[in-house]
């Protein structure tokens, strides 16, 4: 769990160093949020696959909120909290993802309310990061991109 928190801390630091509160750097900020969310959530979902259904539902809620006009972190958290089927692991994953968005929101300060289009980009990046992470979770019993098998191929033997 410490690795997840350190990944998200590094991503939050990167977002903070980019200067997400300035309008000239908004093109760099959302990709870093997406990367931070997807990195932390991917690791966590591989470690805790039982959290996948709740994180998938939470991602859908966050994506829905990104299309709205009330983008306050408290409103987004309240919408996610309304979903009843949560696990402790899914709460940790989603709260970590939303902490990056909250960092961006706080960077805008009092101007956050007037910067709805920019903040929609960041919340959409949070949504995309969670969906990226969900796409990396292996489905039990399904082998993706398996190489073709040919018994006549030479095999490397290690001593």
Q: Does the predicted model carry a pTM greater than 0.75?
A: no
Which regions in the chain score pLDDT beneath 70? Answer: 1-28, 113, 139-151, 153-155, 159
Residue extents of the structural domains in the chain? 2-135
pLDDT at 159: 67
pLDDT at 146: 58
Phi-psi region of 145 (alpha: psi -120 to 50; beta: other; left: phi over 0): left
pLDDT at 59: 94
pLDDT at 108: 83
Give the C-alpha separation, 101 to 92, whole Å.
15
């Amino acid at each position: 769990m410490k690795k997840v928190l350190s990944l998200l801390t590094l991503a939050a630091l990167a977002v903070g160093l980019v200067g997400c509160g300035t309008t000239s750097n908004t093109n760099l900020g959302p990709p870093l949020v997406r990367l931070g969310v997807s990195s932390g959530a991917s690791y966590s979902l591989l470690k805790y696959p039982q959290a996948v259904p709740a994180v998938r539902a939470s991602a859908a809620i966050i994506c829905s909120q990104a299309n709205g006009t009330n983008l306050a972190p408290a409103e987004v958290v309240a919408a996610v909290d309304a979903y009843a089927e949560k696990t402790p692991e899914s709460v940790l994953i989603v709260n970590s993802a939303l902490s990056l968005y909250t960092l961006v929101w706080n960077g805008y300060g009092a101007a956050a309310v007037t910067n709805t289009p920019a903040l929609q980009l960041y919340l959409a990046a949070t949504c995309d990061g969670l969906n990226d992470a969900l796409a990396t979770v292996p489905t039990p019993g399904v082998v993706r991109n398996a190489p073709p098998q040919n018994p006549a191929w030479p095999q490397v033997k290690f001593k």
